[in-house]
Amino acid sequence: MQARGVEKHFGSGKSVIGRLDLGVREGEFTAIVGPSGCGKSTLLRLVAGLEAPDAGTLSVDGLCPRDATHEVAFVFQDPTLLPWLKASENVRLLLELRGLPPAELEQRTVQALELVRLASHAHHYPRQLSGGQRMRVSLARALALSPRLLLLDEPFAALDELTREALNEELLALRALQRWTALFVTHSVSEAVFLSDRVLVMGPSPSGLIADIPVGLPARRDEATRRSAAYLDLVSKISGLLRAQTGEGRP
């Protein structure tokens, strides 16, 4: 993904993203943190082709985002499952809309639910699933699309800490299997460091990126990672940067 001089304004011309230059390499897992309202979701929507930039250029795999929608899947903070459809039907829906042949559709649905360890819940309705399970169905729905670029906007924000940590580890295991490129927005600095190869820190709108921090932790991450000095140093450094931005002691 490449962004050059990207700007986005809303309404009365107020600039949300000032001037953004960013390159994300294939296979890279990039986390984005920044104060509320700084334009993180807007950036993901631009990359997904759901919004158009007011200036500058954006490309995904060399294509304009609107022509690359088949390469991209979006996971929102809310699982956005249709309550009248079973888990498997929720996963199938987007595949059907993409016009896949029935056999492939079935195979991808089963595989995606197996990946997120929910094969046994395929026939459950969303109301019969826990919050963590609903989020895993939402993840399965995105992964079933075989995206090359996965955009995640605070996907685990509504979950308790233990479920979030378990899902963080599952997400890393899935990535080792599938190797998509990821842009992951979160308010949790510890989650950002744990998951990613690189953390981008955005300043208050419209300042854009204020830091681009490589996470040089070993690829295999687990509970020991969360206790390591290198991990704790990075969390503290990035939290400090965010505090300095907001000036209020909270990200």
Ligand X SMILES: Nc1ncnc2c1ncn2[C@@H]1O[C@H](COP(=O)(O)OP(=O)(O)OP(=O)(O)O)[C@@H](O)[C@H]1O
Positions touching ligand X (CB under 6 A) are: 10-11, 16, 34, 36-42, 205
Residue (109 or 196) nearer to Mg ion, CB: 196
Long-range contacts, stretch 12-18, CB < 8 angstroms, 24+ apart: 15/205, 15/206, 16/42, 16/205, 16/206, 17/42, 17/43, 17/46, 17/53, 17/205, 17/206, 17/208, 18/205, 18/206, 18/207, 18/208
**Segment interacting with Mg ion, rule: CB under 5 A, options 37-45, 104-112, 122-130, 190-198:** 37-45
**Residue 108 bridge partners (DSSP):** none
Residue (41 or 196) nearer to Mg ion, CB: 41
User: Is residue 41 involved in binding Mg ion (CB under 5 A)?
Assistant: yes
Q: Residues near 62 by Cβ (< 8 Å), separated by ≥ 6?
A: none
> Which among ligand X, Mg ion, none contacts residue 11 (Cβ within 5 to 8 A by kind)?
ligand X
**Segment interacting with Mg ion, rule: CB under 5 A, options 39-47, 112-120, 173-181, 193-201:** 39-47
Q: Which class for 242: exposed (0-12), middle (13-18), buried (19 or more C-beta within 10 A)?
A: buried
**Residue 75 bridge partners (DSSP):** 152
Name the minimum Å distance from CB 238 to ligand X: 15
Residue (39 or 132) nearer to ligand X, CB: 39
> Which among ligand X, Mg ion, none contacts residue 37 (Cβ within 5 to 8 A by kind)?
ligand X
User: Is residue 30 involved in binding Mg ion (CB under 5 A)?
Assistant: no
* Contact by Cβ (8 Å): 93, 104: no
What's the CA gap between 245 and 247, in Å, rounded? 5
Name the minimum Å distance from CB 77 to ligand X: 8
Name the minimum Å distance from CB 39 to ligand X: 4
* Contact by Cβ (8 Å): 72, 48: yes
User: Is residue 188 involved in binding Mg ion (CB under 5 A)?
Assistant: no
Residue (41 or 90) nearer to ligand X, CB: 41
Residues that bind Mg ion (CB under 5 A): 41
